[in-house]
Copies of this chain bind each other. A is one copy, B any other.
């Protein structure tokens, strides 16, 4: 492995000059620069990142902390982040807490302090005040995705408005008997998201003077399978809603499958609306509130990068950036039958 000394020697300059030539910092004559560059190429020289990082304090490495990777939303977010980073030569360190507080603490307490990271993107993390303090005291840029994370910059969608929009769509079609599939099975995970989407649902219902039946609010774990099972029970009851708002597309698809298995036609006998914009929704004809997780990830990365480039951000910055969502009407919703 060639080092910068080898390059310098081969180019007939000092290591200082070689470094300046390679990094474009400081003045270097055209001739010297050219010789250094050629030497570097011939030697297949690549600067050791660890050495660079140690001296300069910048590692060109940013950490992404999330509770899972094998779920639609997180996969998309990471994709968005990764796409944004690869172009500017940053690398991406992934920390999967698996929703375990133990792991989360280990990551927040130790891993992030090893100075290998220039900045951090926590995704949908349930952070305690102490954890946030600790995170921010690292004195590196932090931009979260999802939220809320009081005190840290975030990028997210308006969960409550999303719930309200979906509900309003159903009410607008004439539905009055509306059930809701929400999250909350795992108290640690998706806590706020669940609550605020349901909040939007409830708000919109009461605004329209409609009642929210407790037994029509299904607590699920955000998977298709669980939602399917619960919806089957719900839809087998004597009284049935005419519409269901599910807090995610996966759960909405579960509801559709359950309805079909029970011989209920969608949307004739049951309207279903979800949230996400999951690709699979298309084949189901699923009406949904589309969010753009890749864009959320990309946006977080961008904000991070500008903070990294610029001096410390002004104080009047937009702390919580809210990205738009979009109602996509397909064939799973219609006016109530009969």
Q: Report B-chain residues with C-beta under 8 Å of the C-beta of A179.
A: none
Complex: A280 Cα to B46 Cα, angstroms: 45
Is B53's CB under 8 angstroms from A82's CB? Answer: no
Contact stretch, chosen from A8-16, A28-36, A91-99: A91-99
Complex: A98 Cα to B78 Cα, angstroms: 12
Closest chain-B Cβ to A123's Cβ sits at a distance in Å of 13
Count, chain A residues at interface, CB 8 A? 57
Is A49's CB under 8 angstroms from B98's CB? Answer: no
Q: Report B-chain residues with C-beta under 8 Å of the C-beta of A71.
A: 75
Complex: A32 Cα to B106 Cα, angstroms: 26
Is A48's CB under 8 angstroms from B115's CB? Answer: yes
Is A86's CB under 8 angstroms from B96's CB? Answer: yes
A283 at the interface (CB under 8 A from B): yes
Interface string of A42-70 (1 = CB under 8 A from B): 00101111110110000101000000111
Complex: A302 Cα to B228 Cα, angstroms: 36
A328 at the interface (CB under 8 A from B): no
Interface string of A242-261 (1 = CB under 8 A from B): 00000000100110011010
Closest chain-B Cβ to A96's Cβ sits at a distance in Å of 4
A83 at the interface (CB under 8 A from B): yes
Complex: A198 Cα to B106 Cα, angstroms: 45
Is B75's CB under 8 angstroms from A70's CB? Answer: yes
Complex: A253 Cα to B225 Cα, angstroms: 14
A308 at the interface (CB under 8 A from B): no
Complex: A76 Cα to B72 Cα, angstroms: 11
Known: A54-B48, A75-B70. A280 touches B113 (CB 8 A): no
Interface string of A173-216 (1 = CB under 8 A from B): 00000000000000000000000000000000000000000000
Is A280's CB under 8 angstroms from B91's CB? Answer: no
Known: A69-B75, A71-B75, A279-B225. A94 touches B82 (CB 8 A): yes
Q: Report B-chain residues with C-beta under 8 Å of the C-beta of A74.
A: 75
Q: Report B-chain residues with C-beta under 8 Å of the C-beta of A224.
A: 279-280, 283
Q: Report B-chain residues with C-beta under 8 Å of the C-beta of A53.
A: 50
> Considering only CB atoms, which chain B residue lies closest to A71 in the complex?
B75
Complex: A48 Cα to B57 Cα, angstroms: 11
> Considering only CB atoms, which chain B residue lies closest to A72 in the complex?
B70
A contact residues vs B (CB 8 Å cutoff): 1, 44, 46-51, 53-54, 59, 61, 68-72, 74-76, 78-79, 82-83, 86, 91-96, 98, 103, 106, 110-111, 113-116, 223-225, 228-229, 250, 253-254, 257-258, 260, 279-280, 282-284, 294
A-B contact pairs, 13 of them (CB 8 A): A48-B115, A50-B54, A69-B82, A78-B96, A82-B96, A86-B95, A86-B103, A91-B116, A92-B94, A93-B93, A225-B283, A253-B280, A257-B284
The 9 lowest CB-CB distance pairs between A and B, nearest first, are A70-B75, A49-B114, A228-B283, A82-B96, A46-B113, A50-B53, A50-B54, A49-B116, A94-B94
